[in-house]
Amino acid sequence: MTACALAPLGQGTRQSRRTRPNGRPLTAALGIKKINVMAKMSNKERRLRIFRYGSRAIAKYTKGDFSLYYCPICGVGYPESSAITGEELTLEDVPPKSIGGKPILLTCRRCNSSAGHTIDVCTGSKIKFEKVGRVICGQEKGTIPFATLSMADFNIVVSICADQSFDVRPVPNANAPATIEKYKEHLINLSGNNTNGFEFKLSMTQKYDYRFFKLSHLKSAFLLVFAWLGYRYAFDPRLEVVRQQIQEPEKDILGTRFWIEGNESMPLKKVMFLRNPLPTFLVSFDGFAIVLPSLESPADVYNTLSSHWNKGQRVDIEAQVLLDVWPDRLQMKLDYR
């Protein structure tokens, strides 16, 4: 059975609360008040639960034992003790928390912290940049906590607050007292003089790299499909190039051939199947989609795709929706089939 043969999910029926033949809830009929117990799972419990589900999945796939959980990115196996301490196996937010992700699986510390942090930080940075643009242009109320104001011969760290008015204020802890005094002096001088031709510059320093931003979404898309289909998908040879690129973001292995710029008609948060020109998965985000190999794809899917699509070419895509919502926990449908 291939991945694309999976029927669209989310169509199953779920048994709702228990009812009596007359339709009244059983608890109500017995005079029992419904009590909601909000049991919050600890991170250790969550890691263990994911470990056990994942290690059983790999055991089914390899027909081996279920003593190890394998990091889906680098493929290294870890024992249960790594999930208990959380030192080597860590909860991974998919997609990054800054865009609403939740900790649905485990990756090893190296993949989560080093490679992951390098690229995932750019997703948060892009959101901040967009907010800064909207606040400065007056399209949104809000505060920008740190910016550098350059005046005459000195710089000062300021916060910008756009509410009823547009306030630029020095940040006390981020400046030497002498700098703040110089700033006040400068403003007093300005208030008594003609300010025509006065120039100042506001700048922000934030690490942001558009290629890393795209790689962060490649990683999220890969992990979302892993959560859905499992190790049988993630460890397929077609996915090796994707896993390698995520582990080594500094190396330009894939370029941006996995990226499709969409428009407002691009569905949000879906996993889709594209049959033409090649059988591939599309994982859609907000206005763009990531192309991933399916288990029907040719071996070198990205190079083959390049030969079908020229850079910058407009393409009309007809894709079948396989998953209407992203998985919010490990499902591993192919391993557990």
Write out the residues near Zn ion by the rule CB under 5 A: 71, 73-74, 108, 111
Residue 152 Ramachandran class (φ > 0 left, ψ -120 to 50 alpha, else beta): left
Q: How far is the CB of 221 from Zn ion (least distance, A)?
A: 17
Q: Given the complex with Zn ion, which of 148 and 244 has the nearer CB atom?
A: 244
Min dist CB 305 to Zn ion, Å, is 27
Nearer to Zn ion, 80 or 296 (CB): 80
State in angstroms the smallest separation of the CB of 57 from Zn ion: 16
2's tokens? 């291939």
CA distance linking residue 20 with residue 36, whole number of Å: 21
CB 282 within 8 A of CB 272: yes
**Distance of closest approach, residue 89 Cβ to Zn ion, in angstroms:** 9
Which CB sits closer to Zn ion, 54 or 279? 54
Distance CA 182, CA 173 (A): 16
Of 107 and 331, which CB lies nearer to Zn ion in the complex structure?
107
Q: Give 107 or 297: the residue with its C-beta nearer to Zn ion.
A: 107
Helices and strands (H, E) in the chain, number of each type = 10, 13
The DSSP call for residue 159 is E
- For the bound state, the minimum distance from the C-beta of residue 249 to Zn ion, rounded and expressed in Å, comes to 13
Sign of CA dihedral 126, 127, 128, 132: positive
The size of the chain, in residues, is 337
